[in-house]
Structure 1
Amino acid sequence: MTLYESLASDLELSIRNGTLRAGERMPSVRYTSRSRGVSLSTVYQAYYLLEARGLIRARERSGYFVAPAQKLPGEPARASRPTSEAVSLDVSDLILQILEGARVHDDAWFASAFPSPHLFPLPRLAQALQVASRSLRPEQILHDITPGSAELRRQIAIRYGADGLAVDADEVIVTNGALEALNLCLDAVTRPGDAVVIECPSFYGALQSLEARGLRAVQVATHPRDGVELDAMEAAILRHRPKACWMMTTFQNPLGTLMNPERKQALVDLLDRHQVPLIEDDVYAELYFTDQRPAPAKAYDRSGLVMHCSSFSKSLAPGFRVGWVAPGRFVSEVTRKKLSLNLGTSLPAQLALAEYLAHGGFDKHLRQMRTKLKNRQATLAQAVARQFPEGTTATQPQGGYQLWVELPEGYDALELYWQAAPHGVCFAPGPMFSPTRLFRNCMRLNYSGECGPEQEQGIELLGKLLQEQVAQGRSRREGAGLETA
């Protein structure tokens, strides 16, 4: 954390705990500079950051003042209650319709599964690609073809080690994005007809993968703040004897849930007792807003049952399509699946990422990206609170870039999607995230786009369309004689 970010965090704490109250004048820049022993420039940067977060406001010739308390939607309070049956899947048609519509219409970036491309260091990545291409040795082309670039795997192992995980570079297999890593893990431990435990709601990519392989989904109750309910998980294991479990324990998509270390440990211990492999989808772990990166479930694995999958697509380079898996005891099976599928992953892209990780300032980029995402989350949440119906709730994730919004009962997010898309405003409606079309009144909003007119106008449009849903519903009920004047 930089000096100005540290100062901003201290001042933010004083605002949030009431030491500095709404409407009060902030300490002057000169006074803060002297009292904290920092430069005027550092204080200005801290105040600019607080202003971007909506916590203070500048008044011409008067200084900075604490802004009125932010209006934010409340958080969803209940865990999901899915069916306890193992279900076959038929979700791809709906998902593909929505994704295609979003590709064409999504001017505000609310529907995308990726962060805004403006957040990435594209010129520096292009430079790294040039350096890597010039240094490519002929023998690398064959030697590194299936497991991946030795240097990139070493860099990935270094980052594991920095977080306290003992993952050898030889265990790492480089893949074409995280989704390929996840699918390879599925193929290594399941066969058609097997049951796989998933969260509810669950990432729609997981649903598509299960459907494509003829696997049955066992949905487990999941809380928006605490994650999967472990009692429900054990009951599902005892009843259905699943061959695998696919979960996101850190900033889950779509909820943004972060399971605490104790619950991650308990999850790994539970699966170990029943010898169920955990396919851990951990693509958002670098995008945390706290002081330290959350440890993955892999950190608590003592028997090699956790197959840890991640990528650079969410944190650095979506277009490079480079991911990886550390599959524990299943490294041989996953390697064979990778070899039979496509032999390997683009070597120039791997070498470029290895060059960037070694010399490009990845951690500096991540710090800047996290700050922007944290600020944009607060901005979008405030817009939702202003424009959406009374009783709307939204998660407040500690990382990532997705907001899960739950409308009051009776609203229809899928209908809202088809109404809003022609106007250039898209999002991910709740039924995309359930094999049984649950969460009809929910939506996922991507808040990574720059806070501009498109985002503000997009939320305003959604709010107006939701008002029209209320009016149309009342009109239908009156027409059916269900309401009287």
Structure 2
Amino acid sequence: MDTHTPYRYLQLAELIVSMIDNGALAPGKRLPSVRAVSEEHHISVFTALRAYRLLEDRGILIARPQSGFYVAGKRRGALALPSASRARAKASTVSISGAVAGLLEHASNSALVPLGCSVPDAALLQSKRLDLALARAARLHGSRYNVYCAPQGDARLRQEIAKRAMRFGHALSPDDMLITSGCTEAVTLALTAVAKRGDTIAVESPTYFGLLHTLEMLGLKALEVPTSPTHGIDIDVLARLLDTSSVAACVLSSNFNNPLGSMMAEADKRALLALLARHAVPLIEDDVYGDIYFGRERPKPFIALDGGANTIYCSSFSKSLAPGYRVGWITAGAYAQQVMERKLAFSLCSPVLPQVALADFLASGAYDAHLRRVRRIFEENLARMTHAIEGSFPADTKVSRPNGGFVLWLELPKGFDSRALFDEALEQGICFAPGDVFSASRRFRNCLRLSAGSGWNDRIENGVRRLGELAGVLAARWDM
């Protein structure tokens, strides 16, 4: 194993999975002891045990007391992937604001098991060092920062963000970006720069309900494009839709779509960029989950690829570090002037102190260590949540297997009503996101999204298992 790669337990886990897949480790076979593995691979016993425990959480290994770890026979309840969505012939008028407001009200209730909102738990993020930077800036230079800053935002923060863009192969100047109040404002600025009321926007299906809410408030229609839980948007279907429909822009997740967790391969991203270029349709990309990847390298966003020049890039620190700071950014390229004018009209500028604190935090180098830690936590959370789903939800449930982010998409048989489950779950003190809020046409009623953004504990696990039991009761009731 590569001794220079962090989190070597993940490498060992990948090696074991590959050996199982190619038949080198057969079902029922006993694995070498933790101590033997640690000596063979020159790793600590703790690292080897962590790899085994992760695979146990995934249902790939079984631990037998006083005996060791064994390859599971047929994975208990191993569930299929959700289906790719179907194409729609025309755009939909969005009417989702009431459902979104209700969901967010419940999701913010700390008395409920928090499976509903895709916001990482503050305790899990452990942003004390960032908070200290904020307090220090306020204490030492509070009056200096109690002002309006330039509309583009703090120069040091833009410089630090530009430095990070080099890591995924994009040369970005600090002058190319504008700081926003989270990614939502960035996407809103982008949409108002390229579209007018009544226009149609192509989106993934399912897609983030916050985007749908924004489209509704701007008077824009949504053209829902079929999206695979693994490969992302269906480019062939999009090509046919663009031949017959007038589309003002396309809004896509760069990586790890919310709620599916899907990610397009680089070759597919390039093909999509070429398609949009032929039709002169601008792409607005949302890359809030890009830093939360489980593979060896950060996946590139569209803007970093050949043909990405007509892309408007939006992101934020809300999913990876500081949801409460509400700091995002936008790189608008040819639309920079239109975006600047709208920023001035909507909010003039973003608060200064959070920007200064974030600039100090990024400059310290602490962000990379932080990301390595939260990536590991989110990956383990998803593995544990998947295992709990497999052990408690109906056997014909389908579940996504994302390689980044921290949400899971579940599909139950047609006819299942996740709204009815939502009402039952609230009575049991559990909140999740029903599937229909992820569609402008209110599809996916038989689906739901679960968030693994909180630290894994008995309360979370019991909540998932209880939700699965409730789903089983409802499914049986409809079968009668």
Q: Say which of 42, 50, 65 aligns to 2:69.
A: 65
Separation (CA, whole Å) in 2 of partners of 1:417 and 1:37? 49
User: Retained in 1: the 8 A contact 2:82–2:411?
Assistant: no
Q: Which moved more, 1:86-95 or 1:67-76?
A: 67-76
1:295 counterpart = 2:297: no
From the superposition, tell whether residues 164 and 340 of structure 1 become closer, same or farther in structure 2 (CA, over 3 Å). Answer: same
Output the CA distance in 2 between the equivalents of 1:307 and 1:431.
Answer: 28
Corresponding residue for 2:478?
473
Task: Measure the CA separation in 2 of the matches of 1:459 and 1:29.
Answer: 30
State the match for 2:170 in structure 1. Answer: 165
Match of 1:387 in 2: 392
1:254 aligns with 2:262: no
Give the SS at the match of 1:247.
Answer: strand
Distance 1:220 1:28, change over 3 A: closer
Equivalent in the alignment of 1:311: 316
Structure 1 residue 222: Cα displacement: 1.6
Q: 1:45: how far off?
A: 2.2
Unaligned runs of 5+ in 1: 476-485
Aligned residue pair count: 471
**What's the offset of the Cα at 1:328?**
1.4
Q: Distance in 2 between matches of 1:357 and 1:30?
A: 39
| Alignment-derived partner of residue 218 in structure 2 | 213
For the residues of structure 2 that align with 1:311 and 1:136, how far apart are their CA atoms? 25
Deviations 1:276-309 (CA, angstroms, capped at 9, x unpaired): 1111011100111100011011112546310010
Q: Equivalents in 2 of 1:411, 1:21: separation in Å?
A: 37
Shift of 1:449: 2.4
The answer to whether residue 274 in structure 2 is matched with residue 274 in structure 1 is: no
Q: 1:124 to 1:88 in 2, by over 3 A?
A: same
The separation in 2 between residues aligned to 1:434 and 1:25, in whole angstroms, is 46
Query: CA–CA distance in 1 between the matches of 2:463 and 2:194?
Result: 43
Aligned with residue 456 of structure 2, among 432, 448, 451: 451
1:176 equivalent in structure 2: 181
Structure 2 CA distance for aligned equivalents of residues 468 and 33 of structure 1: 45
RMSD: 2.3
Whether the aligned pair in 2 keeps the contact of 1:380 and 1:447 (CA below 8 Å) is: yes
Q: Is the 8 A contact 1:53 1:375 kept in 2?
A: no
Residues 301, 210 of structure 1: alpha-carbon distance in 2 compared, 3 angstrom cutoff: farther
Counterpart mapping for 1:78-227 below 5 A: 78-104=83-109, 107-133=112-138, 136=141, 144-227=149-232
Distance 1:355 1:408 in 2: 50
Going from structure 1 to structure 2, the CA distance change for 1:58 and 1:197 (only over 3 Å counts) comes to: closer
In structure 1, C-alpha distance between the alignment counterparts of 2:143 and 2:309, rounded to whole Å: 35
Task: Go from structure 1 to structure 2 and tell me whether the alpha carbon gap of 1:275 and 1:457 turns closer, same or farther (over 3 Å shift).
Answer: same
2:49 counterpart of 1:47: yes
Kept in 2: contact 1:129–1:348 (CA 8 A) = yes
Cα distance per residue 1:217-249 (max 9 Å; x no partner): 111122222211112212222322211111113
- Distance between the aligned counterparts of 1:146 and 1:469, measured in 2? 52
Show the counterpart of 1:4. 8
Greater Cα offset, 88-97 or 29-38: 29-38
Paired residues for 1:386-425 under 5 Å: 386-425=391-430
2:347 corresponds to which of 338, 342, 360: 342
Match of 1:304, SS state, is helix
Q: Measure the CA separation in 1 of the matches of 2:41 and 2:462.
A: 40
Aligned to 1:479: none
Are 2:41 and 1:36 aligned?
yes
Q: Name structure 2 gaps, 5 residues minimum.
A: none
Aligned AA for 1:146? P
Aligned CA distance change for structure 1 residues 251 and 459 (closer, same or farther; 3 Å):
same
- CA–CA separation in structure 2 for the residues paired with 1:89 and 1:380: 32
- Structure 1 residue 46: Cα displacement: 2.9
| Equivalent in the alignment of 1:228 | 233
Q: Evaluate the alpha carbon distance shift between residue 52 and residue 231 of structure 1 in structure 2; reply closer, same or farther with a 3 A threshold.
A: closer
Q: Alpha-carbon deviation of 1:115?
A: 1.8
Could you tell me whether the CA contact under 8 Å between 2:124 and 2:455 is conserved in 1?
no
Q: How does 1:421-436 map to 2 (within 5 A)?
A: 421-436=426-441
Distance 1:378 1:72 in 2: 14
Q: 1:367 is matched with which residue: 369, 372, 381? A: 372
Residue-by-residue CA offset, 1:261-288 (whole Å, 9 max, x unaligned): 0111111111111111111011100111
Structure-2-length-normalised TM-score: 0.91
SS at match of 1:251: coil
Match of 2:381 among 367, 376, 385: 376
Which SS does the other structure have where 1:104 is aligned? coil
In structure 1, what is the Cα distance between the partners aligned to 2:20 and 2:113? 31
Contact 1:12–1:50 (8 Å) recurs in 2: no
Q: Separation in 2 of the partners of 1:224 and 1:56?
A: 25
Indicate the SS of the match to 2:314: strand
The question of whether the paired residues in 2 share the 8 Å contact of 1:152 and 1:353 is answered with yes
- Secondary structure of 2:430's counterpart equals coil
Secondary structure in structure 2 of the residue aligned to 1:371: helix
Q: Give the deviation of 1:471 after TM superposition.
A: 4.1
The question of whether the paired residues in 2 share the 8 Å contact of 1:105 and 1:423 is answered with: no
How many angstroms apart in 2 are the aligned matches of 1:315 and 1:3?
18
Identity of aligned residues (%): 36
Counterpart CA distance in 2 for 1:370 and 1:223 is 23
| CA deviation string 1:182-240 (max 9, x = no partner) | 00001111111111111111111111111101111111122222211112212222322
Higher mean C-alpha displacement, 207-216 vs 121-130: 121-130
Deviation at residue 73 of structure 1 after TM alignment:
4.0
1:328 to 328, 333, 352: 333
How far residue 26 of structure 1 moved from its aligned partner, in angstroms, is: 3.7
Deviates more, 1:79-88 or 1:50-59: 50-59
**Shift in CA distance, 236/146, structure 1 to aligned 2, threshold 3 Å:** same
Is the Cα contact below 8 Å between 2:112 and 2:426 reproduced in 1? Answer: no
Structure 1 range deviating more: 447-456 or 197-206:
447-456
